[in-house]
Amino acid sequence: NAGVTQTPKFQVLKTGQSMTLQCAQDMNHNSMYWYRQDPGMGLRLIYYSASEGTTDKGEVPNGYNVSRLNKREFSLRLESAAPSQTSVYFCASSATSGGATEQFFGPGTRLTVL
């Protein structure tokens, strides 16, 4: 049982380049989330998917797009990277979409945009 996995672990981009961060979970969870974590800012929700086939914006969605490919996979795309998107990105999943249940996090992707 791998839990939540993310690829890549590290990435360096130049301004304007695009990339997709991949996330997969093997816990049969319905809900999946993308967060970014910046020093002094805590964890901020970018997008979430309450269930397969649905996605919704979180607190800081600008500059990002997501795809819930199937129940297991939830990807985050940066179409035109900016230095302000330098951050650590975490994917998480939880069992139910209604009500709040524990979220389980992946290991993170450390992204630097030059």
Partner 1 sequence: QKEVEQNSGPLSVPEGAIASLNCTYSDRVSQSFFWYRQYSGKSPELIMSIYSNGDKEDGRFTAQLNKASQYVSLLIRDSQPSDSATYLCAVPLGSNTGKLIFGQGTTLQVKP
Q: Measured between alpha carbons, how far is 15 from 28 in angstroms, rounded to an integer?
A: 36
Q: Which two tokens stand for residue 25?
A: 């979970």
Q: Measured between alpha carbons, how far is 108 from 88 in angstroms, rounded to an integer?
A: 6
Residue 66 CB, shortest distance to partner 1, in Å, is 14
The DSSP secondary-structure symbol of 3 reads -
Query: Smaller CB distance to partner 1: residue 41 or 69?
Result: 41
Query: Smaller CB distance to partner 1: residue 2 or 100?
Result: 100
Residues found near partner 1 in the complex (CB under 8 A): 31, 33, 40-43, 45, 48, 50, 58, 90, 94, 96-108
Residue 80 CB, shortest distance to partner 1, in Å, is 27
Q: Measured between alpha carbons, how far is 47 from 50 in angstroms, rounded to an integer?
A: 10
Query: Smaller CB distance to partner 1: residue 57 or 77?
Result: 57
